[in-house]
Amino acid sequence: MVRWKVIFLAFLVAGLLVPPAYSAGESAMERPGYLFVEAPRGLVADIVGVGSYATPVGLVLPPGNYTVRITGNVTVVAWVSVVAETATIVRVNPSEIAEAVSGVGIVSIRAIFNESANYSREKLNPPFNPLQKITGCGYGSLYINISRPVPMDLVERGPEEVYLIPNGTFIHIGDSDGKPCIEYVEVNVGAAHAESVRNATYLVPWARLEITSVPNDLTFYINGGHNIYIFYTPMGIYVPAIPHDVYNATAVGYYGTIRIPVIHRLEAHTVGIAEDHYLIESVVKVAPNETYHINVDMEKVKSTLTVEREAVRAVPLEVDSEPGNASIVVTDGVLRVFATTPATLFLPPGNYTVIASRDNLSARESVVLTESASAFLKLSPANAILHVVTYPGNATVLLNGEEVKAKNLTLSPGCYNITVEAPGYLTKSVEVILAPNESKRIEVSLEKKPAVEDQEIVISPPSSGVDDIKSEESPANENDIPEGTQTLPTSPTNDVPDQAGRDNGSLWVKIVILIGVVGAVYLALRLRR
C-alpha cells in the first residue's frame, strides 16, 4: 500500500512539473509579426537566418530581432524588431543613398539602420576640442581604441593636425623647429609608446581626409574607433597611406637598431558618420600626400531609408494536405509564409496562392481570405521548370547549396534557394517559388567587388539609453553589423515561440499547487495511521 502511494505521488509531481503541450492553434503562427522590405525590383533582401528574397517581399515571422541586408551599389543593413500582429516596413532605395554620399576615393558605401543604437546620445558637452597647438616635436595622444585593420592611436598637434598612427611603424610629424622628429611607435591596448629614432629607411606617408555632413555636428568615426573622445563633423584628419607592404624597415634608436619585419599595406580607411539610428560608412582608398573630401547628406539618407510600423488585422487560414506533413508556401505575390501541414496560419485579408509539396508530389490552390478559411490540397505527381540566366554568363549556380551544371532545371514544385557566384563578383542568393507545371525564368546580375576590400573594419559604437531595444547575443558572425548589435536567427517554419514569461509564471503556480497537494497527501497518510 505504501509503495502504491509513493508511485502515485511521483506521477502527481511529474504531471505538475511537465510543461503543457501546445496544440496546432497555439503554434508560433497564431500571433506572428510581419516584415516587409520595400525596395526597387531587381534587388535581393537577405533576411539573416531566414532566407534571401527578390524585392519587394513580405514575410510572416515569429516576433524577434532580424537583420535585413541588401547588396547593390550601396550595401544597406537594417537591424529591426518584428512585433506580434504588427507590420514592420523597411523602405529603402540604395541608389538614392548613393547620391547622398559624395567625395573622392570612395570605393564602397554601407548604410546601417540600427534600432538598438542612438548615435546622437553620444554627443559630449562640450564637443571634442583638441589641445592647444604644440610646437617642436611633441604631440598629444588621444587613444580611441582602434584595433582594425591594425592597432592604431590618435595623436594631435592642434585643431588642424590630428593623426591616426598605426602600430609598429616609423612616423614623422611635427617639425616646426626644424628638428627631424622621427619616432618608432608601438600601440598597445590603452596606451601608446613612442621612441625617437634616426636614419629610418621608411616613413609612413600621410593622406588627409576632410569630413563634412548635412547638417553639421554629426558623430564621426574613423576605422571603427570609439572610446574616450567623440568627434563631430566637420572634421579633418591625417591617415596612413601605405600603398604596399614594406619589409625590413630599420632605424637607429637609443638602444641600437630597430628592425620592423613588415609594415603592411594600409590604403583604405572607413569613414563613419552617424545620427540617431543611422550610420553611413564610406571606405576611402587614399594615396600619399593627397586630400579627400567626404560629405554625407544625412537628411536625404533619412528620407530614403525608413522603418515604419502598422497594426495588422489577421484572420486564420487552416491548411491541410493528403498525404500530410507536406511543405507549404502561401503567398499573395509579396507576403509569404512557410509551414508544414497541417497548419493554422494568420494572414491579412487578401488573395493567396497555396502551394504544397512532398517528395515528387505537389498541389496548388487559390484562396480568397476575408474571414477564417481553410484549404485542403490533394497532392499528385507534377514538375516545374526553372531557367536561370546569369550575368556574367559563366557564373556558378547553386541550388539549395549544391552546384548544378545545367541552367535549365526540371524540379519538383516548392521553394528553392538559388545562389549565383563568380570570381571578382559579389555573391547573390534569391528564393524562388515554383508552382506545379509552372515554367519560370529568373535573371541574376552580379555586382563587381569593390577595387579595395573593407579590410574587416567595423564601426562599433556602444548602445545606450532607456529606449534602446534589448537583444540577446547571437553566435552569428555578422561583419556588416555594428558590434553591440546581434540578430536572432529564426526558422521560417511554425516553431513554438519563446514563452519564457508565461512558462515561468505557470511554473510558480505549479510549485504552489504541488506544495499544497504534497501537504494534503502527507496529512491524509498520517491520519490513516
Residue 188 corresponds to which amino acid?
Answer: N
Tell me what pLDDT residue 160 has. Answer: 83
Whether residue 288 has a cis bond before it, omega within 30° of 0: no
Instruction: Output the nine-digit C-alpha cell for 153.
Output: 592611436
Instruction: Classify the phi-psi angles of 256: left when phi > 0, otherwise alpha if psi is within -120 to 50, otherwise beta.
Output: left
> For 197-207, how does the pLDDT look when each residue is reduced to its tens digit (9 = 90+)?
999 999 999 99
The DSSP secondary-structure symbol of 283 reads E
Give SS3 for 521: helix
Residue with cell 506580434: 84
Tell me what pLDDT residue 228 has. Answer: 63
Spatial neighbors of 486 by CB under 8 A, at least 6 apart, are: 65, 471, 472, 473, 474, 476
Distance CA 492, CA 337 (A): 7
Tell me what pLDDT residue 3 has. Answer: 47
DSSP labels, 106-118: EEEEEEEEETT--
Name the pairing type of β-strands 162-166 and 152-156. Answer: antiparallel
Task: Please name which of 432, 411, 410, 436 lies closest in space to residue 356, comparing C-alpha atoms.
Answer: 436
Tell me what pLDDT residue 105 has. Answer: 95
Give SS3 for 120: helix
Tell me what pLDDT residue 528 has. Answer: 52
Task: Please name which of 269, 280, 216 lies closest in space to residue 238, comparing C-alpha atoms.
Answer: 269
Tell me what pLDDT residue 455 has. Answer: 44
Tell me what pLDDT residue 88 has. Answer: 98
Instruction: Output the nine-digit C-alpha cell for 242.
Output: 601605405
Tell me what pLDDT residue 470 has. Answer: 29
Instruction: Output the nine-digit C-alpha cell for 33.
Output: 509579426
Tell me what pLDDT residue 129 has. Answer: 61
DSSP labels, 299-361: HHHHHHEEEEEEE---EEEEEEEESSS-EEEEESSSEEEEEESSEEEEE-SEEEEEEEEETTE
Q: Could you tell me if 305 and 77 are in contact, meaning their C-beta atoms sit under 8 angstroms apart? A: no
Instruction: Output the nine-digit C-alpha cell for 347.
Output: 494572414
Tell me what pLDDT residue 93 has. Answer: 96
Distance CA 231, CA 166 (A): 19
Distance CA 296, CA 293 (A): 10
Give SS3 for 297: strand
pLDDT along the chain (529 residues), means of 10: 45 40 40 95 91 94 96 92 96 96 95 91 66 76 76 84 91 79 83 86 97 94 77 92 96 93 95 95 96 97 97 95 96 94 95 94 95 95 93 93 90 92 90 92 87 45 31 35 31 33 43 58 55
Give SS3 for 160: coil
The DSSP secondary-structure symbol of 487 reads -
Q: What is the pTM of this model?
A: 0.77
Spatial neighbors of 290 by CB under 8 A, at least 6 apart, are: 105, 207, 208, 241
Count of helix runs (H) and strand runs (E) in the chain: 4, 40
